[in-house]
Chain A
């Protein structure tokens, strides 16, 4: 199977999962109210975040087709490659320059030769003449991948270990607590770096490493909450009625942890994306991320005359996403749980 089919399947799966979660959440009054409240409190942040998600989705679904135009000297390589909607919106033959050009310029930045596509680059082009708007848009997918995909690794892990430890207690609790305290006592950035050096470099490895380091603190919270839930009357009642442990966990414990999951998801998200920027700075980030763009562009700030558009575009895009998520995170926490997670602020 071609790799792009797999990545499409993952994207579709994620989308379907998200939709299913939304639909099933709508059935519960608590969640419906929470959603309304969020929309009321943070309409702008929510819109901005959804816009990022939309761009990321547009860029996640790729397919191969030879349809797109194609001049006689057409770029036969990209015709045979899976391309997303975003790729198709910015075909090389109508957006590629030789090197730097300033935003909306009609001449090359170095040397001043006329551009091939004057005035078309809203945010200019980079050293290889690639459009900056295009690259910035492409970064959205990577950021969502880092934030979203990684939380999808971390949260099930945290749920599994946290619930098992909290519900069963005893030896299992000891073992899980040992694992958690071991991982938590290692400096997180160093552990991340060590993991990436051991796993190798690449987007999947970075996400995996972030996931492995990211689940620990959340597992602690889940464990604590499960300890409390376990002693509630209806759980005792279910047990007395002879319900199996699995059934109790799935029907009575996990659903009551969902608000924590949502909060953890939003709170971890921005941290992960920022971590990736730091990793890029250290040379072990993911290709095409905003962190990588910033890393590439930091030298350009010292150019004279200054080349600012690469750095500014990537930073603003990164900043916008993180700010939106942080604002949403605050609101979600306030709405769903004003107390439990306060210490983790």
Chain B
């Protein structure tokens, strides 16, 4: 297994290099450093200030090839800095990006973790419920409700949730955030609810399909023939044997736990990484944006390795070679 993990890591490194190359193409080849600098230093700044800014941010170097110092180029810089996690300063206001990441990770996690756990519990239990009642009107209604829920744009859930819960019913604050433990829950209530609603349709449908397929298998039939109760079968046999697809689904979400949700965070005023990304888009802050994409990819790749390894734990039949 260790050989596998090492090989997997080596392969991941290649993927990371691919991601970095793509980021270079997107953020250094297509964009013009002069424009980024102009936006950052302001329209009234003299040309020297512009040059100074470009120098401070490393945008004054040649892109690929430097006759005198072959390693002193944007390309080399980009790879070196990203691989050593030296992200530099924001293009918009010169804040160190690391400081931003630190300040944003907490709020994102405190919002995404409850959302993730609740969503997992809700979708799996609803999925079980619908699978339990399969082929009855509850099942058909459930599937239709799921498709309906999936067909509504997240944007509409946001508008509706805020309008109804915060303005009409006055249950929770409309937006905002305060990390102190006594008040944090009330700020997260509506965004978590909206997140749940917008994800539940997709999730329930997925788990229903998994459970229905699993419960058609031979061993389940045997259990049923032995007189095992349907509820017991679902929980003890079907759920347990569906852990692999569940795990796969869970890992996909891991990067978002930290990276946050751009849409929900920025609209509800949660100062997490998602809303940092949103601000970076609006401020043309390329340095922050590419860091975010890079970190998101890293987390995803890590998550995939973890899934593969955890398969062996969950399902002894799986062996990594």
Interface residues of A (CB under 8 A from B): 178-179, 181-187, 189-191, 193-195, 197-199, 270, 274, 277-278, 281-284, 291, 294-295, 298, 301-302, 311, 315, 318-319, 322-323, 326-327, 330, 342-343, 345
Contacts and interface: CB of A to CB of B under 8 A. Distances in A.
Contacts, number: 113
Interface string B118-162: 000000000000000000000000000001101111111001000
Nearest to A280: B155
Contacts of B96: none
Given A198-B31, A282-B262, A322-B150, 8 more contacts: A178-B14, A186-B296, A193-B281, A194-B290, A278-B153, A319-B153, A323-B147, A326-B151
Given A187-B256, A191-B293, A294-B155, A182 B31 contact: no
6 contacts: A187-B293, A187-B300, A194-B27, A194-B289, A311-B159, A315-B153
Interface string B2-28: 000000000000110011001100110
A163 B153 CA distance: 34
A257 to B, nearest CB: 23
A94 to B, nearest CB: 32
A326 B147 contact: yes
Given A178-B14, A182-B19, A187-B256, A291 B155 contact: yes
Interface string B258-281: 010011000000000000011001
A199 B282 CA distance: 16
B147 A197 contact: no
B61 to A, nearest CB: 20
Contact of A187 (B30, B263, B282, B297): B297
B212 to A, nearest CB: 10
Contacts of B209: 342, 345
Contact of A185 (B147, B262, B282, B300): B300
The binding surface of chain A is classed by DSSP as helix
Contacts of B262: 189-190, 282
B301 interface: yes
Nearest to A270: B151
Nearest to B248: A343
A186 B19 contact: yes
Nearest to A319: B151
A208 to B, nearest CB: 13
Contacts of B213: 342
Contacts of B15: 178, 181-182, 185
A323 B304 CA distance: 32
Nearest to B153: A277
A186 B27 CA distance: 15
Contacts of A318: 153
B173 interface: no
Contacts of B256: 187
Contacts of B296: 186-187, 190
B292 A190 contact: yes
Top 7 closest pairs, chain A to chain B, by CB: A182-B18, A187-B296, A322-B151, A198-B30, A323-B151, A277-B153, A185-B297
Contacts of B301: 185
Nearest to B146: A326
Given A186-B22, A278-B154, A315-B153, A298 B159 contact: yes
Contacts of A189: 262
A302 B255 CA distance: 34
B30 to A, nearest CB: 4
Contacts of A270: 150-151
B62 interface: no
A179 B18 CA distance: 8
A281 B262 CA distance: 11
Nearest to A178: B18
Contacts of B277: 190
Contacts of B293: 186-187, 190-191, 194
Contact of A198 (B27, B155, B206): B27
Contacts of A190: 259, 262, 277, 289, 292-293, 296
A319 B156 CA distance: 10
Name the residue in A178, A185, A319 with the highest tally of chain B Cβ atoms < 10 Å from its Cβ: A185
